[in-house]
């Protein structure tokens, strides 16, 4: 089971421009291996080589970001001695690119800085387990809600994540002069 709360913790820190740095590793039946990381189009891929010394009937695999356990699972299979490549993928279901880019670009050490902009007068970000929420404060009721995140890469390139939506219509003759609108990613 993927530790989603740990992934959201990475995204939360990135959106606060606190970019974490860590190595990606795995253990296979207790044997540690280094994992190289790549990220493209919402898919994070880790690859590493492991040598199996004797025949086994199952593999217990643990995936780590730094010292943090991200995932663990057991594969039932007859494995002969030899050298194998472990390929582990995480696919993010994130149409905005805000959470997926924050995690993927951090894990692959491509990120140098982050810039968050909204159409609100001010905003705050909070993290609760597997939910990350933007609290957008408006002095009047907005017609649109907008969050844009620019990810600046260490190679000079950039990526972007964005959330845009129309605000729900208010009842007739209703005036709002101050409102906080939450936008939650989970």
Count of CB atoms within 10 A of residue 127's CB? 16
CB 21 within 8 A of CB 113: no
Chain-centroid distance, C-alpha 85: 24
pLDDT, residue 25, reads 98
pTM of the model: 0.93
Helix (H), strand (E) at residue 5: helix 4-15
Residues 21-49: tens digit of each pLDDT = 999 999 999 999 999 999 999 999 999 99
The reply to whether 39 and 82 lie within a common domain is: yes
pLDDT single digits (tens) 152-183: 999 999 999 999 999 988 888 888 889 999 99
Q: Which of 28, 57, 91 is the last residue of a domain?
A: 91
Query: Do residues 10 and 83 both lie within one domain?
Result: yes
In total, how many domains does the chain have? 2
Write out the residue range of the structural domain in which residue 58 sits: 4-91
Distance CA 24, CA 37 (A): 7
Instruction: Give a yes or no: residue 105 inside a domain.
Output: no
Domain match, 46 and 119 both: no
Determine the distance from the C-alpha atom of residue 97 to the mean position of all C-alpha atoms in its chain, rounded to a whole number.
9
Q: Are residues 68 and 9 in the same domain?
A: yes
pLDDT over 90 (residue 81): yes
Q: What is the pLDDT of residue 97?
A: 97
Same domain, residue pair 20 and 68: yes
């Amino acid at each position: 089971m993927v530790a989603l709360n740990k992934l959201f913790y990475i995204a939360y820190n990135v959106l606060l421009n606190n970019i974490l740095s860590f190595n990606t590793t795995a253990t296979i039946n207790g044997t540690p291996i280094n994992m190289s990381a790549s990220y493209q189009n919402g898919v994070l891929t880790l690859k590493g080589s492991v040598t199996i010394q004797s025949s086994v009937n199952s593999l217990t695999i643990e995936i780590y970001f730094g010292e943090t356990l991200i995932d663990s699972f057991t594969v039932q299979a007859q494995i002969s001695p030899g050298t194998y490549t472990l390929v582990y993928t995480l696919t993010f279901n994130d149409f905005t690119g805000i959470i997926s880019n924050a995690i993927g670009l951090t894990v692959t050490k491509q990120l140098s800085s982050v810039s968050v902009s909204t159409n609100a007068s001010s905003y705050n970000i909070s993290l609760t387990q597997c939910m990350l929420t933007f609290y957008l404060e408006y002095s009047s009721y907005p017609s649109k809600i907008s969050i844009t995140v620019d990810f600046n890469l260490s190679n000079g390139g950039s990526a972007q994540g964005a959330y845009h939506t129309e605000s729900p219509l208010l009842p007739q003759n209703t005036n709002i002069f101050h409102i906080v609108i939450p936008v939650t990613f989970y």
